[in-house]
Amino acid sequence: MNAVAERYEAVRRNVADAADVSGRTADSVTIVAVTKTVGVEEIRLALSLGIRDFGENRVQELLGKHGLFPDARWHFIGTLQTNKVKDVVGRAHLIHSVDSLKLLAMIDRKAAEIGVIQPVLLQVNVSGEESKHGMSPVEAVDILCEAMRMENVEVRGLMTMAPFGRPEDSRPVFSMLRELAESLGEKHADGVKLGELSMGMTNDYRVAVEEGATIVRVGRALFNGR
């Protein structure tokens, strides 16, 4: 077994164990393989292992890799500038990083132009860290109301970035995002289903799954073992 295969199996076992803690199955969690700085051969190898979801945080990298591997599900996980929306809409299986109403409205307009419904997540800065992108929990309430009036975006859930540090320190952040999603879902029970929680990376994905993550974004643990 090659190194990437061994690492993928280790990540899958960790996800399964963490999901069990939260009373779920491993199938309830999508592992997004983050391919920042990862070459074509490693992506091809990952596909051969059964990985289908890949994440990119740069638009140019997304375009190039989507062109080479169009059958993979490409997630855009980085900060999305409004002038790059046209390049991502219709290509991204899911945009994780919608951090403002302006960006959401632009995605909706572009999706309408090309005749698609673009799935997105609202990025929420629940930790309040100034260095982190994302709307506040209060803003998320208002933006979700606006999203319900848009015909070409589908808000599937929320995303957050926890402060880097000890994995256990991320737990309150992940818990707050889950509670926010539950609260928003109760307020808009007839209009939205916030079923996806994208939270957790290589450093803390196990804690994220224990706290309800349905998507984890893992790069280093798969491709270079750190």
pLDDT in tens, 123-140: 999 877 776 789 999 999
Question: Do 189 and 208 contact (CB within 8 A), yes or no?
Answer: no
Query: Residue 163 pLDDT > 90, yes or no?
Result: no
**226: CB partners within 8 A, 6+ apart:** 202, 220
Q: Is 150 left (phi over 0), alpha (psi -120 to 50) or beta?
A: beta
pLDDT over 70 percentage in the chain: 96
Q: How far apart are CA 154 and CA 166, in angstroms?
A: 34
Q: Could you say which DSSP state residue 81 is in?
A: -
pLDDT over 90 percentage in the chain: 84
**8: CB partners within 8 A, 6+ apart:** 46, 49, 51, 222
Instruction: State residue 164's pLDDT score.
Output: 81
Instruction: State residue 65's pLDDT score.
Output: 96
Q: Could you say which DSSP state residue 158 is in?
A: E
Residue 125, SS3? coil
In the structure encoding, which two tokens stand for residue 213, read together?
Answer: 């993550």
Mean pLDDT within 78-98: 97
Q: For residue 192, what pLDDT band results from cuts at 50, 70 and 90? A: low
Angle at 204 between CA 200 and CA 209, to 5 degrees: 60
Average pLDDT, the chain: 93
Query: What are the residue ranges spanned by the domains of the chain?
Result: 3-223
For the four alpha carbons of 214, 155, 152 and 67, in that order, the dihedral sign comes to negative
**71: CB partners within 8 A, 6+ apart:** none
For the four alpha carbons of 194, 180, 186 and 145, in that order, the dihedral sign comes to negative
Question: Do 69 and 43 contact (CB within 8 A), yes or no?
Answer: yes
Q: Which fold has domain 3-223?
A: TIM Barrel (3.20.20)
